[in-house]
Structure 1
Amino acid sequence: MAKPMLKIDDINVYYGAIHALKGISLEVDEGEIVTLIGANGAGKSTTLRTISGLLKPKTGAIEFQGQNIAGVPAHEIVKRGISQVPEGRRIFAEMTVMENLDLGAFTRKDKDGIAADLRHVFELFPRLEERRDQVAGTLSGGEQQMLAMGRALMSRPKLLLLDEPSMGLAPLLIREIFNIIVNINKSGTTVLLVEQNANMALSIASRAYVLETGRITLSGPAAELAASEEVKKAYLGG
C-alpha cells in the first residue's frame, strides 16, 4: 500500500470556546482529487486552514509526505509543497495580474522553473495572459478566481487546497473552472477540494468526505456518495 500524501488523524480545532473540528481523520493519496462537502459552517474551511498552517489543532496529527506539519508556520508549509486558494479569492486587488503571479512564487529561487510554471499557468488560463498588465481588482469574478488558482500554482505545489472555487460564479464559468481543476490534477498536482456545489465536486473527485458540524459523517468513492440517497437529499437537491 502506498502511503497517503496527506493524512489527518483525529484532529480537534477550536475557535476560542467553539469546538470547530471534532476528531476528524481523512487521507489524500498522491494524484487524487478528494472533495470535502457539507453545509455552510460544517468546518470545511477550518479543515483547509488547519492543513495550511493558519490554524493550529489542539490535538491530533497532520502528516504530509510522512512528516508531521501540525503547528508548522504557514510559509514553511508552502515551501514543503502545500498551497491554498482561499475562499473569496483574496487576490491583491491593487496589483497587476503579473505581480500577483510573481508573489505566488515568492518562496522560490529557480528562475527557469518559475518561467516554465508561468507558461503553464498561461496555458491553463489564457485570459490571464491577455490581462497580465491589468490591475487585478478590475477583473471579473471568474478571472479573479483563475488568478487566485494561478497564483497558488506558481509555488509549484504537490498538494493544492481549493476553498469554494465556484462561489459566486455563473454556471458556465463554474464548468470552466472545474475543467481546469481536472487539467491541473492531470498535470500532476494532487487536489483537496472544499465545495458547496456538491454535484460538480463529486463529478470530478475520486473520493469524498461529508462533513457535518465538525465531524465526518460519510466517506467513500465519489460516485458512490453521489448515488447515495442520504447525500442526494442533503446536498444534491434530490
Structure 2
Amino acid sequence: MLTVDNINVYYGAIHALKGISLQVDEGQIVTLIGANGAGKSTILRTVSGLLKPKTGDVVFEGKSIAGIQAQDIVKKGISQVPEGRRVFANMTVLENLELGAYIRSDSKGIAADLDKIFERFPRLAERRAQMAGTLSGGEQQMLAMGRALMSRPRLLLLDEPSMGLAPLLVKEIFAIIQEINAGGTTILLVEQNAHMALSIAHQAYVLETGRISLSGDAKELAASEEIRKAYLGG
C-alpha cells in the first residue's frame, strides 16, 4: 500500500532522514520505534505531505505522492493523528469531528460516520457540545483519532498516541487502534512505548539517528535481546 523509497529529508542544514526505505502492506499495523529525535515523526510528516524529501520517493497505492500538498494527500486516503493531539481547543467536540470531514460532501455518510465515532468513543458522545480544550488528555486523543477517521482514510498515521496518558488509558487507546485496524484501516504507528507498539503491530522498524537499524516481524523483534535491552527495559 505504501512504499517509502530511499528518502533523504533535511531541516535546513540538518540531515534528519538518511536513505530511509520501508513498506506498509494493506491491512497491517506497522510501527516505527526508536529514541526521541531518531526521525520517526519526520517519516510521518513526509508521508502526509508536511515535509518534502530532498531525494527519494513516497508511493501510495502505486502512485508517487512525494511533494504533493498535504490536503491533497488526505483526499488520496491518508490521514494523520498528530503528536500532541492538536485539537481545535476553542471549538466543540462535534465541530472538531465535522472538520475532519472537510473533504467530503456526502452529508448522509458524514452523519453515519459521526454516529460510528460516538459509538466507538462514548465519552465524546457525552461531551459533543463541550469545548475541545476542556477535555482530558485521553479524551483529546480520542477526539484527534475520531477527527482523522472522519475523512475515511485507508491509511491512518498515528504519531505518539500514548504520550502523556495514564497506563490504563494507554491500554484503552491501543485496544481502539486494534479495532480500527480490524475494521479495515491500515495503520502506520509511531510510538515511544515500544512494548505496547510491538504487542499490536505486524511489522516494525527501529530507527536510530535518521537511519533504520533493524526491521522485521514485530513479535520477533519484541523477543530479541537487543531490542529488549534498548527499548523494553531489559
TM-score range, shorter chain: over 0.9
Say which of 93, 100, 109 aligns to 1:97: 93
2:30 partner SS: strand
Matched, 1:213 2:209: yes
C-alpha displacement of 1:124: 1.3
Structure 2 alignment gaps of length 5 or more? none
Partners of 2:221 and 2:77 in 1: CA distance: 29
1:134 partner SS: coil
Aligned to 2:114: 118
Partners of 2:92 and 2:49 in 1: CA distance: 27
C-alpha displacement of 1:144: 0.3
Runs ≥4 residues deviating over 3 A: none
Amino acid at match of 1:121: I
Partners of 2:117 and 2:182 in 1: CA distance: 14
Report Cα offsets for 1:32-82 as digits up to 9, x if no partner.
Answer: 000000000000000000000000000001000000000000000000000
Partners of 1:223 and 1:205 in 2: CA distance: 8
Say which of 24, 32, 35 aligns to 2:31: 35
Partners of 2:112 and 2:30 in 1: CA distance: 27
Aligned to 1:128: 124
Aligned to 1:224: 220
Number of equivalenced pairs:
234
2:94 partner SS: helix
C-alpha displacement of 1:170: 0.1
Partners of 1:190 and 1:11 in 2: CA distance: 21
Aligned to 2:50: 54
TM-score after normalising by structure 2? 0.99
Aligned to 1:81: 77
Aligned to 1:189: 185
In the TM superposition, what are the counterparts of 1:122-161 in structure 2 within 5 Å?
122-161=118-157
Partners of 2:105 and 2:122 in 1: CA distance: 25
Partners of 1:48 and 1:76 in 2: CA distance: 15
Aligned to 2:68: 72
Amino acid at match of 1:88: G
- What is the aligned-residue RMSD (CA, Å)? 0.5
Partners of 1:177 and 1:83 in 2: CA distance: 17
Report Cα offsets for 1:180-238 as digits up to 9, x if no partner.
Answer: 00000011100000000000000000110001000001000000000011110110011
C-alpha displacement of 1:115: 1.4
2:9 partner SS: strand
C-alpha displacement of 1:116: 1.7
Amino acid at match of 1:46: T
Aligned identity (percent) is 78
Amino acid at match of 1:47: I
Aligned to 1:200: 196
TM-score after normalising by structure 1? 0.98
Partners of 1:31 and 1:71 in 2: CA distance: 25
